[in-house]
């Protein structure tokens, strides 16, 4: 693996990982890996191809050959802009179903590691610090209460014009978290050497500052 700085940020859905990772990457001039998008794309492409989401080998074959491109904040699948299509709650749930399959995780592993290229990477997901980048010098586990995470997601969806009931979101977030935390492969949990941050009641800026402080000695040395 290339010796470039990697900041691994893991945590449950709605903990603010994506927003925080993008802001840290912007401030430090690093690349970003949104690993959740890969699981969303694998499930999305499988559905399109008529492959059942519990067909481990079928979904893994699709995951291994995903014609994906991340360009200017957009996600392109075989040239088609699927940025919004993979952001729905259904796409998130589908993603967490294929994410329990070891073959699918294996199929996506090398592509993720290959993103650790100069000038360095901020990687967000569920197993960045535990499995994909176990040697990352900075590991963060970003958490928040389920209620707060559902409220943030609700606000985001309302801003996008999507009308959902908060109580439905809480139930969905809790179900997805339970699947992510309890699966046998790469379950969502903090790496032993991760800094755990509970962002309940914290602003994005406060979380970013805290992570930058933690990253200071390793990412800015030399």
Instruction: Give the Cα separation of 93 and 32 in Å (integer).
Output: 23
Give me the 191-220 binding string for ligand C5P, x by CB under 6 A, dash otherwise: ------------------------------
139 binds ligand C5P (CB under 6 A): no
Q: How far is the CB of 143 from ligand C5P (least distance, A)?
A: 14
Q: Would you tell me how many other CB atoms lie within 10 Å of the CB of residue 144?
A: 22
The Cα 153–Cα 157 span in angstroms is: 6
Nearer to ligand C5P, 156 or 213 (CB): 156
Q: Could you tell me the CA-to-CA distances from 114 to 17, 46, 75, 123, 133 in Å, in that order?
A: 21, 23, 18, 12, 11
Distance, CA of 218 to CA of 76 (rounded, Å): 33
In contact, 123 and 134? CB cutoff 8 Å? no
Binding to ligand C5P in span 117-136, by CB under 6 A: 125-127
Least distance to ligand C5P from the beta carbon of 220, Å?
A: 26
CB of 179 to ligand C5P, least distance (A): 7
Confirm or reject binding of residue 172 to ligand C5P (CB under 6 A): no
CA-nearest of 212, 218, 200, 199 to 27 is: 212
Within 8 A by CB and 6+ apart from 155, the residues are: none
Which pair of tokens denotes residue 205?
């800026």
Tell which one of 42, 58, 176, 197 touches ligand C5P (CB under 6 A): 176
The reply on whether position 92 binds ligand C5P by CB under 6 A is yes
From 15, 23, 39, 136, residue interacting with ligand C5P (rule: CB under 6 A): 39
Residues 43-82 that bind ligand C5P (CB under 6 A): none
| In the complex, least distance from residue 217 CB atom to ligand C5P, rounded to whole angstroms | 26
Residue at shortest CB range from ligand C5P: 36
Handedness of CA 36, 22, 156, 70 (dihedral sign): negative
Q: Is 99 in the site for ligand C5P (CB under 6 A)?
A: yes
* Residues found near ligand C5P in the complex (CB under 6 A): 13, 35-36, 39-40, 92, 95-96, 99, 125-127, 176, 180
């Amino acid at each position: 693996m290339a010796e470039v700085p990697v900041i691994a940020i893991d945590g449950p859905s709605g903990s603010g990982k994506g927003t925080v990772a993008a802001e840290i990457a912007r401030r430090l001039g690093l690349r970003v890996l949104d690993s959740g998008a890969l699981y969303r794309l694998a499930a999305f492409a499988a559905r399109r191809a008529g492959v059942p989401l519990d067909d481990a080998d079928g979904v893994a074959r699709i995951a291994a050959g995903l014609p994906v491109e991340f360009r200017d904040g957009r996600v392109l699948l075989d040239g088609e802009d699927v940025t919004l299509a993979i952001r729905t709650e259904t796409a998130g749930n589908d993603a967490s179903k294929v994410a329990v399959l070891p073959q699918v995780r294996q199929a996506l592993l090398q592509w993720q590691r290959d993103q650790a290229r100069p000038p360095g990477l901020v990687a967000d997901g569920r197993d960045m610090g535990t499995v994909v980048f176990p040697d990352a010098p900075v590991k963060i586990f970003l958490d928040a209460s389920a209620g707060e995470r559902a409220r943030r997601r609700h606000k985001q969806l309302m801003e996008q014009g999507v009308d959902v009931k908060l109580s439905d979101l809480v139930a969905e977030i809790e179900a997805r978290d339970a699947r992510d935390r309890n699966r046998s492969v790469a379950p969502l949990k903090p790496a032993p050497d991760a800094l755990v941050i509970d962002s309940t009641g914290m602003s994005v800026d406060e979380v970013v500052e805290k992570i930058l402080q933690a990253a200071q000695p390793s990412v800015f040395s030399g």
